[in-house]
Structure 1
Amino acid sequence: MGLYSIYGYVDTLFDVYYYMLIAYVLLSWLPSARESFIGEILGKLCEPYLSIFRRFIPPIGGMIDISPIVALIALHFVRMGIMTLLSFIIR
């Protein structure tokens, strides 16, 4: 029973981080929203992960940053891999 709850917790953590990334990206559309309390917290949690992708993917036309899209896709694949490994361990 304990291993199934670990599977659920890990899955929920991925969900929470996924939505945090989306919220952080959406805050970039609002003027000075990233300087708010929530914006700063999200920045501290999301920026280290996003900066990995920003090093390799330059903005298109100097303004359009597609690195968050690639980061979300990569997070999805990491999630699938980890959840598959956990399902093998649980069996």
Structure 2
Amino acid sequence: MSNAIFNLLMNIIGLYLFIIFAWVVASWLQMFGVINARNPMVRNILAVLNAFIEPVVNPIRRILPSMGGLDLSPIVLIFGLYFLRDMLVSFYRTGSIF
């Protein structure tokens, strides 16, 4: 794998992890009333975050059992991205996934 492609994939995964963490923090802040979702700027930021995260998280939510009010799908997604990142690093270093 070329160095440029490897770095691009690592940066994309890192950016997506940052977006997930921002989405989780924003949802907590909205839930506790720290930020007002009626504010147009906040609403636009939440809409952009939801557009990036919801299409990936919804299939995970369908598979995971309901845990009351706790949504574990972002945690599963984060673990999956870290696993993918580690597999890419292993493949880049050795030329083999295992």
Smaller-chain TM-score bracket: 0.7 to 0.9
Give the TM-score of the pair, scaled to structure 1: 0.78
Give the TM-score of the pair, scaled to structure 2: 0.73
Aligned length: 86
Other-structure match for 2:79? 73
Which residues of structure 2 form unaligned runs of 5+? 31-36
Distance 1:59 1:25, change over 3 A: farther
Q: Deviations over 1:19-64 (max 9, x none)?
A: 101111111112228x621111111111111112111123422x11
CA deviation after TM superposition for structure 1 residue 86, in Å: 4.1
Which residues of structure 1 form unaligned runs of 5+? none
Higher relative contact order (CA 8 A, sep 6+): 1
Distance 1:10 1:73, change over 3 A: same
User: Does the alignment pair 1:42 with 2:41?
Assistant: no
Other-structure match for 1:57? 64
- C-alpha contact 1:58 1:65 (8 A) present in aligned 2: no
Structure number, greater radius of gyration = 2
Sequence identity percentage: 27
RMSD: 2.2
